[in-house]
Each structure stands twice: as C-alpha cells, then as structure tokens.
Amino acid sequence: MRLKRWLLFAPLLLTVFLLQSYFWVPTYEHQATGNPKRLVTYIQGSSGDAKVLNPILNADSASSNIVGHVFEGLLDLDADLNLRGRLATEWAISEKAYLFVSASNRFPDGTEVTGTQLINRIRAALKEKSFSTLAKNIKDIQVLPPEKLTQKISMTEKGEDGKPKRGEVEISFNMPARVVFSLHQVDQDFFTQLMPVIGDRYLENFPYDQHLNLPEGIQPEIETQIHAQLADLFPVAEHNPIIDFQLRKGVRFHDGHEFDVGDVKFTYEAIMNPKNLSPRTSDFEPIKFVKVLDTHRVRVVYKRLFSPAINAWMMGILPEHLLNAEAMQQEMEKRELSDAARAAFGMRDSQFNRAPVGSGSYQFVEWQSDEFIHLTRFEQYWEGPAEYHEFFMRIIPDLFTQEVEFHAGALDDYGAQPHQVSRYREDAQYQNFSSLGFGYSYIGYNNRRPLFADPEVRKALGMAINVGDFIKYLLYGEGERITGPYPKNTQWYDPSVPPLPYDPEGAKAILMSLGWTLNADGWLEKDGKVFEFNLITNNGNPIRKNIMTIAQNAWKKIGVKCNTQVFEWAVFLKDFVNTAQFDAVVLGWSMGVDPDLFQLWHSSEAGPQQLNFVGYNNPKSDDLIVRIRQEYDVKRQREMTHQLHQQIHEDQPYTFLYAPLGTKVLDKKIVLVQRDEDGNETYEKIYPTKSGNIEFYFNKWRKLEMTPDF
Amino acid sequence: MNMNAVNSLSPQLDAEKLPPPETPWQEFVRVYKKDRMAIVSSIVLAILVVVGISGKVFTEWVVVFDSEVVRLPDKFLPPLSAPSVDVVPEEDLPILSLYVFGTDELGRDVFARMLQGSFVSLSIGFVAVGISLVVGLFLGGLAGFFGNIKLLKIMTVDTLIMRFTDVMLCIPTFFLILTVVALLPPSIYNIMIVIGLFGWMGTCRFVRAEILALRQQDFVVAAEALGLPKSRIIFRHLIPNAIAPVLVSTTIGVATAILTESALSFLGFGVQPPYATWGNILNDGRGFIFDAPWLFVIPGMAIFVVVLAFNLVGEGLREALNPKLRRR
Amino acid sequence: MLAYIGRNLLLRVVLLFIVSVLIHGLIHLAPGEPSAVDPSNPRMKPEDIAKIRAAFHLDDPLYLQYGYWVRDLVQGELKSFKDNQPVLGKIWRRFLNSLPLFICSTLIVWTLAFPVGIQAAIRRGAVFDRSSTFVAYALISFPGFFLSYIAILGVVEIFQVPVIGMRTFGMEGAAGSFRFMDRVWHLVIPSLLAALGGIAVLSRYVRSQMLEVVSQDYVRTARAKGLPNDTVIYRHALRNALIPFITMFGLLIPGLVGGSVIFETIFAWPGLGLLGYEAILSRDFPVILTLNVFGAMLTLIGTLVSDVLYGIADPRIRLE
C-alpha cells in the first residue's frame, strides 16, 4: 500500500530532517572558543527593541543605549558627574542683564527716571565700596535705544463648539530704552543688589498698556490673557545667561563629513521645529537664540535664568547635511510619496531614524526589527577607536531566555535581576558590580486627602515599614536606604539626614496620640471611621508588587487597613495618577543629574497631568526649588539642595524607600585595556566610577582569551 | 448492572424474564464506566471541586491557611520544610508548623496560596464557560429554531446570527482577548467575561446544526404536527437531545479557559493581586526557576493535572454520548 | 462556480469592513494613550502632548479617524505611531518571519496526526489508542510557556546548542548549507511546541472521522468481499475520511497571526504575534488595527478556500 507507506514515511522523514539539523549547529562551547572574532564582539541582551535611533526623538531606553554609542553631544559627564567636553572643547558661561528705563517711575530721591540719569547713577554707585563685589562682576554697561517689537503670543480661545482652542495672536510692543549689563558670571540677585540705587519698587508698576499695540477687534477675554503674559514676555529686569562653546576641530561624522557649528545650530532648530514633535523641546525652550560666531564657535543665549539648561547639550548632535530641507526633499522624491504625505513629512518619517549617522565611537551597520541592532567601531573616532570591534544589541523579550543565553555565553551582558546577581556572586567565572544610579522607589501619599494631610500620619506610616528587611531579603542587598528626593550618588543628596526608624510601636503611638483608637476588629478608628485606604501601582513590575504586599502586611500590624490594586500602566496613569484620584501609590523616579525639582515638587505643578501628583505644597520648599534652578554657582546650589532635602524629609510627602543598585554581571575575561604611547597593552579589572557608572570606560573594554589574574 | 442483578433475583418479578431495556442514561453510565481514564479523571475533578470550595472556606472565611502573611526570613524554603521558629513571630507560623509546598519570595505559604488560587482558577473556568454557553445556546437555538423568520424583509434571523458568528470567528481570538484585556482594567470579572465572550462561536454553530438536524427527525415533526407549544418542543425535545455535544464542549472549554488565563498571566495581563490564581502563581514563579523550582513546578503541574482531567472527562463523555461510536 | 466565488468575495469584503469598524471602535474607546503621548515623561508639557495628539488625529471624531486609516492604508502610507515607519512594510517583514515557523509546525501537525489518528481508529480501545489519547491530551494540558521553558532548559543543558532566536549569532561567515541548517534547527523546538495543540486536536478528529467511515455500509461490503484489511482501510475508508480535512487547509491560514504570541516571546522570534503584542503594549493603533484586519482577512480567505476545495473534493456538494 503506497498510501500506507507514505503515511509512515512522511513523519519519519520530516523528523529525521528536522533533527539532523542539530549536527550543523555550533555548540555554545564551539561558538565561544573556536572564533577569535567573538572576543572583539560585545553582545548585549535587551528585552525591548529600539524605536527611533535619533537623539532628538528617542525616548525609550533601548534607543538611548544605541544612540549613545552612535551619536555624541557637545558635553557629557565625567567620572565624578561633572560636565566634560566632547564635541565642545571649552565653554564659558556669562550673562547679559537688561533693565528697562522705566520713565514713569521715580528714583528714591524723587527725581524722574531717564536713561542717562539711570546709567550715571549706577556708574557712580559702582565706585562705592559697598558695591565692590557687584562692580567686579560687571564687564560693561550700555544703553540700548527704544525699539518696536512684534511677537506672536499663544492663547486659548473659545472654539465654535465651546471647547477651548489654542491659537496665536500677533502683537507689537514698544520696547523702552534699556540698560544692558554684561556680567562675567550669572547672578540671580543682580537686580536686588541694585535696589539701593534704583529704588525698591523699581521693578513694579511698569505701564505695559502704553507700550502695547493690539490688533483690531480683539476679544476682551483674549486681551486679559495677553496682559497676564506681558510681564513674563517683556520683564522690566531680564537675565540672559549666555554659553559660548568652542567646538572640537577635525571631528568627522561616520560618512566622512566634517562636523562644524552648522550642525549644532541645525540640531537646535530641528528640536524646536514643531513638525518634528521632539520630546526634548522643553529642555531647549529656554534658549532665546543660537548664534554662529565662526566655524567652530557658537553662542547660546537664554531667555531666563535656568541653570540646568546646559545639561541639554549632552544630547547627540545631528549631521545637518543628511537631514536638512534639501536632504528631506530628496528622500521624498526617492520614496515617491503622495502630496498629503509630503505635506506631513518631517524628520520623524525619515529613514535616517533606522540607519543613523552620527559622530560617536560606533557606527551603525544593520537593524533587524525585534531581532538585533549591529554597530561597528568608528575607526576615525577622535578619541581613538574602541577596543570592541562589533557591538550587537540582541532583542530577547523573555528574561528567562536571556539568562539561559547569558549562561551559555551567547550574551555578554543582560539586565540581571538582584536574585540572579546574588547567584553569580558565588560563581568564579563572573565578575559583578553594583553601584548607585539615579533612581529610587517610594510610596507616595495623596497629600490632599484629609487622611494623609498631617505629616505625622505619613511619618507613622513610614515608620511601620521595615525597609532594611526589604533590601536584605528582596533585593539581596542590591539597594540602599534613602531619605530624600535626590539621587544618592549626586552631591545634591544630603547624607546627614537620618532615615526613619523602623518602629511599629512608635508608629502606633503617634497615631494614637492623634486620636486614633483600636476597635474590636483590631483596626485603628477615629470618629467611627476605620483607617483604610487603597494602595495602587502599575503591573509588570514584580518588585513594586512586592513592596505593596509588604507595606500592606506591615500596616496591618499597626491596625491600618490597606487594600492593594494593580493596574495596567496606561490605565494607571490616566484614571488615577493624572487625575489625582488615588490614596497612595508605589512608584519610582529615575532622576537626572541636575538639581532641579520644579516639576516634581513645586506646588504649581500639582494640577492634572502634572508630576507633583501627590500635591506636595510647602511655600518654604517652593522658594528653595525656584532659587536652586536659578543658581549657577554649584556650591550655593548644594547648600540649598541640602536644605530642601531636609525640608522634604520633615514633611514626608513620600515614604522614601530605597535606591536600587545598578547591577552588571560580566564574564571575568572582560577587562579594561590601557595602552601606553607605544601601543603596549596592560589590563586592569573593570571598575565603576565614583558616581556609579559601570560602563563609563566601555570603549576600553575587551574580552581576553584567558581569565586574567588580578 | 447491580439493579438488574437484584431484579432477576427477586421472585416477585418472575414475569419479567428479560431485563428492562436500557435507558439512555444507563447506557451512558455503562459505557462511561468502562473508560478508566475518564473515571480517574472524574474522581480527580471531584476532589478538585472539594479543594476549590475548601480553598474559599479555609483561606478567606475561616482563615486556617493564611495566604497573605509575609515572612521575609523564611523566603524560598523548599517544600516540607519547617519555619524558622526563632525569627518568625508565633502568630505568623503556618498551620502544623510546616510549609507543605514551600514558600515563595516573600515567604508566603505556597500551599495556602495554591489553595486560595484553586477556587479562583476554577471559578474563572466555570464562569467563562458558563457565559459562552449561555450566549452560544441562546444564539444557536435562536438561529436553529427561529432561523427562517425574516427581518426587515432582507435577511433571516439565521443569516444575521451566522454572519455575526462569522465576524467573531474572523478575528484571531487569542489576539483579540489580549487586545481587550490589555485595554480594559484587568479585573478578574473582565477576564472571565472576555474569555467567555470570545468562546461561544463553536457552541452556537453546533447547537444550530444539531437543532436543524433534529427538527427533521420524526419525533419533532410529530410534536409540531400535534400542535404542542413551541416552548415545550424546545425545552422538552430539542434541548435535551442537543445537550450531549454541548456537555462535551463545556468540559473541554473549562480546560481551555484555565489555560488561557495562565497564558494571559504570562503576558502580564492575567488576574492581578490580591487574587491568586494558579496562572499567576506560575507566572510569578518563572523568574525563580533556578532559585526555587517548586514555585514553577507545583502550579505548573497542578494546572496540567486539572486541565488533563477536564480534557479526559470531555473525551470520555464524547465517546459515551456518541451513539455511532458506541455501537460496536 | 465563479459566480459563487464572486458573491462570496463581496460578502467577505462586507464582513471585513464590519470587523475593522468593530476593532477600530474597540481600541479607540478603551483607556490608554499611544506611547509617544507619554504623560509620565517629565520632559513633555501639555502643549507637546496636544501637538502629538493632533499629528495622530487622536482628537478627531472616530469616524474621521477610521477614514484616515482607510485612506492611508489604501495609499500604502499608513504609519506606525511608534516609529513612523510604514505599517504594511512592517507587517510584511514580520509575516515573512512567521511563515517558516507556521509552515514547519503545520507540516509536523499533518504528517504526525494522520498516522496516529488512523492507527488509533483501527485499534480502537487497544493500548495504542488509549495511550495516544492520553499523550495527545497530556501535551495540550500543559500551559504553553511551562512546556517551552522545560524544553529550552532541556536542550540547552543537555545538548549545549542555542535554540533561541531565528539563527545562531555570529554565523554570518559560515557556509550557506550551515546557515540554512542552522535556521532549520532554530525552527524545530518552537514549531514542535506550537504544533502540539494541532497534533492532539487533528489526530482526535482523524480518529473519529475514521471510526465514522469504517462503520459505513460500503466499508462493511468491502470487508465482506474479503479484501485485505489494509486495502479496506487505506483505499476505501481513508479516501472518504479525508474529505473534511481538505477544508481544514483553508482554516489553518489564520493561525499565522494569532496563536504564536507566547512562543514568539519566549523564543525571541520576530514574527507577527510579537509585533502585535508590542503594538498592544504601546497602543500603536494603526498596527493593532491593521494586524487584526489582516488576521480577519486571512480567515476569510481561508474559509473561502476551504469552501471551494470542499466543492471540488466532494462531488455531492455543489457551490451555487
């Protein structure tokens, strides 16, 4: 029977064919040893694919990782988290301060204000001894003649359907004569120090109405909106911080094109171009204009005092010649797009984002979606080529398979979990590192809720949780206790603030003293109401889920009833956090290196969709937050951040839990290669920088054939 | 069989020498009893139901096994180990001072969690299948019995329902469940409802087919000719006869629903705490395969045994209820 | 026949339209925003979010959004929210990745299920029948990822070869035959796991179909004639028992999109399932919608193919 035979043979044949393929596949052993190229190839496992390989557009960590290798910014952070020049070799910060000649005002002695009077009085005053520090900072004083400015102002108007609609109005403003001071250093108190000369109330009561020309037939509501903005748009006293960058000469992009000042200006303009929908606009929004001085010198002038603004220049610089209007036009032609698509075509649509060209240490080779991204080292990198020749990011969504591949040697690096790290620690084949990063976890209480309005209550809740045990058992020591809002590895963090003690009895005593009593069921009760609330978090984060369970358990022991719920991220944000419809949340922040906490903690940022969703409100803190972001002197900044840290610790709007340690497990064969001038190699053990960055010297890493003895 | 034996022994019934003809039920029982796999599986399921109910009773109403107590020092203890008495406060000790199934990463008693999960997992299975059964029976019955009523003169009820079924069948089911579950808040009810609402199409189709076939049969034609009320025909004649395949698909449906829940858990869209299900215990455990394999193996095997039991019972029912297969 | 196909095509286009409207409504009414509109990103201000929403037409009425989707799809310029890449190109590349996995697992299902099912039917009630029933049900009673993990651990620990991904990394320089076989090997485990469900269901179906046919009169007649058992089974019974399976060819096609999310996630296989899963996570509406509609389209084509095949294979059925 032919059919019968086929029915038996077919499965047999198929099985044999499929299984024999096993003999063609190299074993892990063979892959690792029989292949010298493997030693100069670094393969990193990532659970998610990159989205956009463009420094001004990316927002996810996988993209940032690749972009960080392919692109380079003007600046970056050195081993101690201070700024360091990359594409810029030097930079200098100065200031121009402007003051209206406010003709309607009078000097303290009653005489009228005029331009010449103002400048003469200031010049005279600066010669006095009491003004000597101020005088030292002033490079130059001049008077600018009056001028007429036209400007577009954004406003919201009522649309036809009654919903608010955003729009713009063009107004013209007759700028009065101004005195301009060139300062050596930025000084946020500059005008305050001038007060004895110009009068304490000089900055108030400027008659904006007389200087304003509105277009015909404007609605009165919009007019009030415009008036409200005038003092911010045309302040009587204005600080314009200035950064002058000297760019590195002879740097080339991966395609050989030389980097110059045009690329810097282009990158800034690309970010501000509304068509590109860059998520980085707010970092660059304080910039007034970027001015080219010569091919390798550029001046950035800011609208107002905002000291963290310089950090934005760590972002990678785009090659202008590949992305300017002309290049975009060519791409549209090549892709034969329809007119509708052309009209909407922006940098986001460009194929550049899938095959980027930058000036960083690695250049792009290939990207297979959800499979891998391949980079190769850039031989002409200005700092010399990296030790690893090839760099791969492999996308492996499942953490278990990642670990299996790492174990087998097919991955050099993956995001090891704390419990895995503790296992590798005992394995002689691996070296592992733990160091502080920029993140921390917390339980945030909705400060608006009457239940949590009292700082003492929040303190008691914090005291009931044994964070030490949590770090010991659940993080296997891969975490550090924290007490305040700054990353522990930065100088802004005040290490002298003591953490809350673990003291459930003390916590109970505090609550009892506030009028809570234990009821028959063992719950705390006041005015007939049980101390009960919901604690929520997002799903997909097992550690947060564990924090929740542990907090619930701990609070149960002091008689506080807590119900826990987990929501999908989008729902969690939309229905609970953004609308402040929650009692308490378990969350974490990933902070930046700058000391600006405005968005997280300032009381003006507590509205819907804003980040101070716990509704923290303390005028003392508000004042400090604003002064910190306007201060350009690091030492003074540090004093203020320590004060702010202490203040927030006292108020306990969050229970600050811990900062997880960044961990990395690597094969011991991977070492740091140092070369002397003759090209001789010496090897060192890899070490994290003081600030906790493990990959800081990545360009000097390489894998050796034998495990070295250190 | 036993009844027959008794009957033939009793002198009063001498007149009836032949045993009475088998009722369908007796016939079913006779065939089913021969299937040893099905019998064992039925026993497993019976035990499971008891476990499920006691899970509800002993972990929530009368807390004998507390599934929520966190004992960090006792984390990752293997099955059958004793708690460390000196660190764990006395009121937190598990019953009998023994972790039968070990502890998880928070030191919770896995046995208590499995017990609690058994009720939730089973209820997900039953409720989801119940929903799909109700929808499927209703729509299938409607299409089968009132199929030729015209709606608005353009299409019949049958066409409408069957086209709608087609629409639902068109959509890749698991994918759609995933889409819906991801977009809705992941409450336990939503998951039950979604699994149920995307599982009725099969039931609907064969209920309709069965009823259409039955309506051609003589006894239904006779009943209609006699002018019996429609409800009587439906409930007395059609449904009992169409119930056999429904029963089979229900049993297997419960198995599928339990598996679907665990698959959703894997992708992070399963039932969320505070509910423990076998699916999410298994999913939590997979991160610790090398550290605490029992957290993965115990729920995995539990799901396996239960799903297998449901499947085998379904298979046994199919064999026993299929008259064509039975004859030989 | 042609008229039948034509009429059915029309009907199916209408169905497709309804399906797309349903799914469109579903994903837009559900909570959550596309990940580009990330309200938790501290860098984004409400104005920025408003701009992005406007660029994605998210504030327009639903029917308009549907209109935009259809327009862009027809023009082939539909863009993903996530990375602005053309959706059709994305789906096509993933489709090509999913295809080998699908073909391989289908081959396994069909070649294994028939012999097993037939043997089980012939030896009904015997040890082979019982054990194959048990094994078939046992294999589909494991949660898919449980079995996958065990399989991966087993292969990696015992055989020391890679199983994850579509190919072994770093084999770019190897000879063509090695690279081909390497790809085949990477197919084996995931497709075998994906095939388990199919083997169980199909072999049970073959078995019951065979039992049904074997009890028919013509088979009895053939036996009565004294024909050898094999001839009866394989020539007379099997041919007729096969007919319903022809229709199943068509119904297989949709399996390409849906069923493999878990296996693709575990085996890091960049196929359609993974694409869809990630699109759902980042609320990439154009991709979710297009992919679901693509799946529905495959189903509809599949049922049409199966109807037509049925008409050709079974002379008793005429398509009108």
A473 contacts B75? CB cut-off 8 A: yes
Residue range A439-662 forms a domain whose CATH class is alpha beta
- Of B19, B102, B160, B7, the closest CA to residue B299 belongs to B102
CA distance B82 to B73: 12
Q: At C298, give phi and psi (nearest 5°).
A: -60, -45
- The amino acid occupying position C256 is L
Lowest-confidence region among A30-44, A252-266, C82-96:
A30-44
Name the residue of chain C whose CA is nearest to A3's CA: C234
Mean pLDDT of the A387-399 span: 92
The domain locations on chain A are 36-68+361-435+666-703, 93-241, 439-662
C149 contacts B289? CB cut-off 8 A: yes
B178 contacts C276? CB cut-off 8 A: yes
CA distance A642 to A637: 9
Question: At residue B183, does pLDDT exceed 50?
Answer: yes
Q: Say which CATH topology domain A36-68+361-435+666-703 has.
A: D-Maltodextrin-Binding Protein; domain 2 (3.40.190)
Tell me which residue in A11, A21, A371 faces C188 most closely, judged by beta carbons. Answer: A21
Q: Which of the listed ranges A164-173, C6-15, C143-152, C235-244 does the model predict with the highest average pLDDT?
A: C143-152
**Around Cβ C312, how many Cβ atoms within 10 Å?**
12
Whose structure tokens read 């811990």? A658
Residues 155-184 of A with CB under 8 A from C: 166
Tell me which residue in A400, A549, A566 faces B106 most closely, judged by beta carbons. Answer: A549
Say what the pLDDT of residue B193 is.
87
ipTM for this prediction: 0.87
By the 8 A CB rule, do A74 and A247 touch?
A: yes
Label the pairing between strands A430-436 and A654-667. Answer: antiparallel
Question: At residue B211, does pLDDT exceed 60?
Answer: yes
- The amino acid occupying position C213 is V
Question: At residue B11, does pLDDT exceed 50?
Answer: no
Mean pLDDT of the C179-193 span: 90
**Around Cβ A137, how many Cβ atoms within 10 Å?**
18
* Residue C42: band (very low, low, confident or very high) from pLDDT cuts 50, 70, 90: low
Cis before B274? omega within 30: yes
- Name the DSSP letter for residue C58: T
- The amino acid occupying position C116 is V
C60 interface with A at CB cutoff 8 Å: no
* Residue C118: band (very low, low, confident or very high) from pLDDT cuts 50, 70, 90: confident
Distance from CA of A567 to the nearest CA of B (A): 6
Lowest-confidence region among A278-292, A491-505, C102-116, C203-217:
C203-217
Measured between beta carbons, the chain C residues lying within 8 angstroms of A596 are none
By the 8 A CB rule, do A70 and A362 touch?
A: yes
CA distance A88 to C99: 50
Question: At residue A447, does pLDDT exceed 90?
Answer: yes
Distance from CA of B180 to the nearest CA of C (A): 8
Measured between beta carbons, the chain B residues lying within 8 angstroms of A548 are 273
Residues 98-127 of C with CB under 8 A from B: 124
Mean pLDDT of the A204-211 span: 83
Distance from CA of B14 to the nearest CA of C (A): 37
pTM of the model: 0.86
By the 8 A CB rule, do B270 and B262 touch?
A: yes
Domains of chain C by range and CATH? 87-279 (1.10.3720.10)
Tell me which residue in A8, A394, A611 faces C169 most closely, judged by beta carbons. Answer: A394
Tell me which residue in A22, A577, A578 faces C159 most closely, judged by beta carbons. Answer: A22
Query: Which chains does C contact via 3+ CB–CB distances below 8 A?
Result: A, B
Distance from CA of C180 to the nearest CA of B (A): 31
Cα C37 → chain centroid? 32
By the 8 A CB rule, do C195 and C203 touch?
A: no
Measured between beta carbons, the chain A residues lying within 8 angstroms of C114 are 7
Say what the pLDDT of residue B93 is.
76
3 state DSSP class of A469: helix
CA distance A592 to A312: 11
Say what the pLDDT of residue B9 is.
42
Tell me which residue in C30, C138, C273 faces B308 most closely, judged by beta carbons. Answer: C138
Label the pairing between strands A212-213 and A178-183. Answer: unpaired
pLDDT per residue as tens digits for the range B105-163? 888 889 988 998 899 889 989 999 999 999 988 888 888 888 777 776 667 788 888 87
pLDDT per residue as tens digits for the range A343-383? 888 888 899 999 999 999 999 999 998 899 999 999 999 99
Beta partners for A435?
A662
Say what the pLDDT of residue C200 is.
86
Say what the pLDDT of residue A162 is.
63
B287 contacts A549? CB cut-off 8 A: no
By the 8 A CB rule, do A170 and A215 touch?
A: yes
Say what the pLDDT of residue B5 is.
39
CA distance A452 to A448: 7
pLDDT per residue as tens digits for the range A238-297? 999 999 999 999 999 999 999 999 999 999 999 998 888 888 888 898 999 999 999 999
- Of A189, A180, A5, the closest CA to residue A99 belongs to A180
**Around Cβ C219, how many Cβ atoms within 10 Å?**
19
Mean pLDDT of the A527-550 span: 88
Tokens of C204: 């049970």
> Considering only CB atoms, which residues of chain A are within 8 Å of chain B?
399-400, 403, 417, 419-420, 423, 469-470, 472-474, 539-540, 542, 545-546, 548-550, 552-553, 563-568, 571, 575
CA distance A536 to C18: 38
Name the residue of chain C whose CA is nearest to A156's CA: C47
C41 interface with A at CB cutoff 8 Å: yes
Tell me which residue in C51, C267, C268 faces A277 most closely, judged by beta carbons. Answer: C51
Per-position DSSP letters for A317-382, written without gaps between them: PPPHHHHSHHHHHHHHHHHT--HHHHHH--GGGSGGGGS---SSSEEEEEEETTTEEEEEE-TT-T
Mutation for testing the B interface, residue in A557, A565, A586 having most B CBs under 10 Å: A565
